[in-house]
Amino acid sequence: MLISFLSLILCLIPLHVLFAADTDKIERSIFPVQGKHVHGSSIVECPNGDLLTCWYHGSGERSANDVVIQGSRLVKGKNEWSPVFLMADTPHLPDCNPILFVDRQKQLWLFWIAVRANRWQHSVLKYRVTDDYSGSGPPNWKWQEIIILEPGQAFAETVEAGFKELKVGSGLWSEYAPPFARLIAEAAKDPVKRQEGWMTRIHPLQLPSGRILLPLYSDGFELSLVGISDDDGKTWRASRPIIGLGNSQPNLVRRKDGTLVAYHRDNGDVPKRIQMSISKDQGETWEVARDTDIPNPGSSVEVIALADGRWVMIFNDAEQGRHSLALALSEDEGATWKSKRHIEKVEAGAGGFSYPSIIQSRDGRLNMTYSWSVPKKGQTIKHVSVDPNWIGQ
């Protein structure tokens, strides 16, 4: 009789009370789940407190010429993202990998790539910039240009020296490593190949000096480098390359002593780990990238330094698959990551959650966007907001 009474009471209690939502975690789909491919989002906070995000949308990626850059805005104080609007479109070419950035002068930048000949290694690096982006719709762009970097002969020399330091072909990689190293070293001598195919993925970093560092990578070379501007983006030049075994999509974060750390996606051989490199000269040159102990399935990662000095990492915490997406917290500038909590986690094959973009807004909260894809349901870009302390709870 008691059991029946309790069952009746439970039936009368709303499910959201029985299974209380995580009130510290705010989750929103930026637009309804749909059937097109949506990927590679980026998020920033505008000076007026709005959140602005973008991503690419179309029938596929590099092979689909209908791919465009779309965006949406979350007006400060609102609970729903605005209707989707167009951010950029290069007619008859795929537009991919958009990145948003607000510089020290409060200008908004959109960096992205237009893929020529449907091949990543022929991509053209483009940007738009404006100071008029506080309205309700898309930014009112004031200027658009392309960036052509000119890595010189030092690029080829650094590639050759880096592979020697990593001992490629001496048991570190597979039996195919020696021809890989020779092919890349030979391609590095070609001034045309050095200038094309540099792609965006992660937010730029502006140093206290004003220098802007734009992290870039190449699927042709399977290496990374940094675009450097010392005149607020008027001109750009290339750093020395960051050499590694499949180090891709670098993310830059600055230690208190000025050292720069680059975390990379791992496109190389097993073990699949986030790779890391160091620069002690404001991004001009970089140590070779080496494995950390943090798993990576070949998916991008982003690390940011919080206002209180702690670091936060958002990443797929597995060696295979993108079915698990986590936040990790470090109190010693990346030396250790003692706290971790999942944002998304399902069985392998049941969903994919990847390519995250993360910022700390002025209210102290973490705001992140990422690709959300579930079989038989569709795809969207998801927005999640949490307090940093949520990670360790």
- Give, for all 393 residues of the chain, the pLDDT tens digit: 434 444 443 344 333 332 334 569 999 999 999 999 999 999 999 999 999 999 999 999 999 999 999 999 999 999 999 999 999 999 999 999 999 999 999 999 999 999 999 999 999 999 999 999 999 899 999 999 999 999 999 999 999 999 999 988 655 455 555 677 888 999 999 999 999 999 999 999 999 999 999 999 999 999 999 999 999 999 999 999 999 999 999 999 999 999 999 999 999 889 999 999 999 999 999 999 999 999 999 999 999 999 999 999 999 999 999 999 999 999 999 999 999 999 999 999 999 999 999 999 999 999 999 999 999 999 999 999 999 999 998
Please give the CATH topology (third level) of the domain spanning 2-392: Neuraminidase (2.120.10)
What's the pLDDT at 167? 86
- Contacts (Cβ under 8 Å, ≥6 apart) of 234: none
Coil vs helix vs strand at 89: coil
**The pLDDT of residue 169:** 64
| DSSP states along 68-88 | EEEEEEE-TT-SSPPPPEEEE
pLDDT of residue 200: 98
Query: Do 368 and 344 meet the contact criterion of CB atoms below 8 Å apart?
Result: no
What is the residue whose two structure tokens read 């930026």? 30
What is the H or E stretch that residue 384 is in? strand 378-386
* Residue 181: predicted pLDDT: 82
Contact 357, 366 (CB under 8 A): no
Single-letter amino acid code for the residue at 243: I
Tokens of 98: 């958009």
Measured between alpha carbons, how far is 40 from 55 in angstroms, rounded to an integer?
5
The 10 Å Cβ neighbour count of residue 268 is 25
- What is the SS3 assignment for 182? helix
Sign of CA dihedral 282, 284, 287, 291: positive
Provide the CB-side half-sphere exposure for 192 (13 A, CA): 1
pLDDT tens by residue, 18-66: 233 456 999 999 999 999 999 999 999 999 999 999 999 999 999 999 9
Q: Which letter does DSSP use for residue 381 in this model? A: E
End-to-end CA distance of the chain: 39
Helices (H), 191-318: 191-195
pTM score: 0.92
Contact 87, 144 (CB under 8 A): no
Cis peptide before 271 (omega within 30 of 0): yes
- Rounded-to-integer distance, Cα 89 and Cα 96, Å: 10
Burial class (CB in 10 A: 0-12, 13-18, 19+), 244: buried
- Give the list of residues 6+ apart from residue 123 with CB closer than 8 angstroms, or none: 96, 113, 114, 115, 116, 196, 197, 198, 199
How much is the pLDDT for 178? Answer: 65
Predicted local distance difference test score (pLDDT) of residue 47 = 97
Q: What pLDDT, in 10s, does the model give residues 134-157? A: 998 999 999 999 999 999 999 999
Q: Are 244 and 289 in contact (CB under 8 A)?
A: yes
Structure tokens at 83: 């209707």
| Residues near 319 by beta carbon (within 8 Å), at least 6 away in sequence | 270, 271, 272, 295, 296, 297
Alpha-carbon torsion angle 21, 27, 31, 35, nearest 10: -80
Q: Of 55, 2, 18, 41, whose CA–CA distance to 300 is shortest?
A: 41
Which secondary-structure segment (H or E) carries 55?
Answer: strand 51-58
The pLDDT of residue 68 is 98
Contact (CB, 8 A) for 250 and 224: yes
Domain extent listing, the chain: 2-392
